[in-house]
Amino acid sequence: MADSSKTEKTPRWSRRKGARPGEILAAALDLFVEHGYATTRLEDVAERAGVSKGTLYLYFPGKEELFKAVVRENLVSVLDFAEEMVAHNDMSSVELFRTIIMGWWQRIGNTKLAGISRLMMLEAANFPDLARFYHDEYIFRGRAMIRNVLEIGIERGDFRAVDTEQLTQIIVAPIVMLMMWRHSASAYHAAPVSPEPYMDSFIDLCLHGLLNEKATG
C-alpha cells in the first residue's frame, strides 16, 4: 500500500516541478506591472508563485534576468508570431495592416502586458541597461515589423509612397497613448475612452491617409 501511494505522488510532483518556470514568470509579470521594477522583490515573486526564493534562483539568477525572461515570454513571443504572419501573408495590404495593428492591441495593448511598457517609460532612466534590452528586443523589432507592413503596401501599389520610418513613429504613438491611459488616467476616473471605437477610427485615419486614389477607385 505504501509503495502504491508513493507511485501516485511522483507524477504530480513532476508536473509541479515542470510548471515552476511558467508560474514564476506569471507571478513576476503581475508584480512588475503592479509595483514597478525597482520595488518588486524576488522574495515577493517567489511567494506569489508558491516556491522558495532558492527555487526561483534555480531558474533565474537575479531580478534583471527574471524581467528579461518576462519580456521574452510575453512580448517577444507575440512579435515572433506577428513577424511570421507578415512574412508569409496572403492578405490584402489593408487587411494585413488592420490585422497587425489590431492584433498588437488585442494581445498586448489591451492586456496587463501594456503595464510593462508603462513600467519602462517610468523607470528607463534609472535602469538604462534594461531599457536598452527592452528597446533592442521589443521596440526596435516592433517598429521594424510595422515599417515592413507599410513597405509591402507601397511595393504592391496599394499605399502611396511615404517616409515609412517617420510614419511608423506616428502610428505607434496613439496606441501607446491609449495603453498609458488605461494604466494611468483610468485610475482617477478620467473621462472614459472606449478602446474599440478609438482603434477603429485610428486605423480608418491611417488607411485613408495611405491609400492611392487608384486603389480606392
The CATH number linked to 54 is 1.10.10.60
Total domains in the fold of the chain: 2
* Pairwise CA distance, residues 26 & 29, whole Å: 5
List b or e across 150-181, with b for residues whose CB sees 16 or more CB atoms inside 10 angstroms. bebbbeeebbeebebeebbeebbeebeebbeb
Give CA 46 to chain center in angstroms: 23
Q: What digits encode the pLDDT tens for the residues 48-93? A: 999 999 999 999 999 999 999 999 999 999 999 999 999 998 999 9
Bridge partners (DSSP) listed for residue 159: 211
Q: Please, which pLDDT band fits residue 6 given cuts at 50, 70 and 90?
A: very low
Q: What is the pLDDT of residue 184?
A: 66
pLDDT higher than threshold 90 for residue 130: yes
Copy the grid coordinates of residue 183.
494604466
Does residue 82 sit in the same domain as residue 182? yes
Beta carbons of 156 and 93 less than 8 angstroms apart: yes
**Mean of pLDDT values over 15-20:** 57
Does residue 192 sit in the same domain as residue 126? yes
Domain residue limits at 133: 63-216
Provide the 8-state DSSP code for 159. B
Does residue 17 sit in the same domain as residue 37? yes
Does residue 46 sit in the same domain as residue 81? no
Does residue 55 sit in the same domain as residue 160? no
Cell 533592442 appears where?
A: 136
Q: Where are the alpha helices (DSSP H) in the chain?
A: 2-35, 42-49, 53-59, 63-71, 77-87, 93-104, 114-123, 128-134, 140-156, 164-183, 195-210, 213-216
Does residue 48 sit in the same domain as residue 77? no
Does residue 50 sit in the same domain as residue 113? no
Does residue 90 sit in the same domain as residue 169? yes
Does residue 107 sit in the same domain as residue 121? yes
Copy the grid coordinates of residue 77.
513571443
Q: What is the pLDDT of residue 208?
A: 85
Does residue 90 sit in the same domain as residue 196? yes
What's the pTM?
A: 0.81
Question: Among residues of the chain, what percentage have pLDDT more than 90?
Answer: 68
pLDDT higher than threshold 50 for residue 15: no
Q: What is the pLDDT of residue 197?
A: 87
pLDDT higher than threshold 50 for residue 14: no
* Pairwise CA distance, residues 158 & 15, whole Å: 51
